Amino acid sequence: MKIIAIEEHFTSPAVFAHLGNTKASGIMTKLRDMTGVRIKEMDDAGIDYALLSENNPAAQNLAPDVSVATAKASNDFLYEAIQANPKRFGGFAALPTPAPKAAADELERCVTKLGFKGAMIMGTSNGQFLSEMEFRPIFERAAKLDVPVYLHPSPIMPAVRDAYFQGEPYFHNSGLGFGLETLTHSFKLITSGLFDEFPTLKIIVGHLGEAAPFIMWRTTENITRAGNKMPKSLRDYYKTHFWLTTSGAFQDSALQCAITEMGLDRILFSVDWPYIDNLDGTKWLKSTPLSDKDREAIASGNAIKLLKL
């Protein structure tokens, strides 16, 4: 069974230069490694191919001109890593979202010149949700190029963090905050009218949708009852435009909920390396209750189709 993982991170020298006090961590050592421990841990876990993406926050919280230069340097760095191991790696572009038109142009360069398979956007951009109109050029270009945008979490805004999780730092990020941020972001993209403007746009969300499949009926019913006048229901938009990955969410019941809500062809395998161990991901993939045909589709078949691998 071929295994493709599509939310696997790295940190380029260009982004590393902006990170301040995180430079000595063991995670950062792995993030900066492109050939040694990265490939060894892929081999040990049986992962054949990985789609790599710049680590959070990539170039998204920088001044516009700095963001443009940093994203370009990151993408050039990733391109060189892919060229050195083309049978093992592909890439998602990092985008300078503080400069939306330049971000659209960088996406096109990465897809048409560098062979990248889409973009990964690290949540909010300098505190702004990408549902705001100024970011439309990015999504317009993704739809034109027929490549997906992977919507990754970013840390919740400080005001929300302080109001909800004061004194409980284990909830701030991956414990709960990341999920709240991405779930909110996903639904705001829908209610902003984005998919009426770009009806072929494709969005990928990790962590099995950050609970979206579980709450979809309730959220759809409540916003409709509250007077939302979208041409289609929130649930219809989500099931049409979103794909989900297993990154960091190796739970049988959650997977079955996602499959039931979205359909098997909308679920793709990911690990979220190096934050999650590759072996944890592949051991679960091989043991979770699925037919061999369905397991292979999640392991690689759906990614091959969506990303044109």
The amino acid sitting at 252 is D
Residue 131: which of 196, 177, 74, 71 has the closest Cα?
196
Question: Do the Cβ atoms of 281 and 271 come closer than 8 Å?
Answer: yes
Cα–Cα distance between 198 and 196 in angstroms, integer?
Answer: 6
Cα–Cα distance between 242 and 65 in angstroms, integer?
Answer: 31
Question: Do the Cβ atoms of 57 and 91 come closer than 8 Å?
Answer: no
Tokens standing for 146?
């027929």
Tokens standing for 132?
């705001």
Of 33, 162, 272, 292, the active-site residue reads: 272
3-state secondary structure 197-250: HCCCCCEEECHHHCCHHHHHHHHHHHHHHCCCCCCCCHHHHHHHHEEEECCCCC
Residue with tokens 């049986």: 46
CB atoms within 10 A of CB 163: 10
280 catalytically annotated = no
Q: Which residues are catalytic?
A: 272
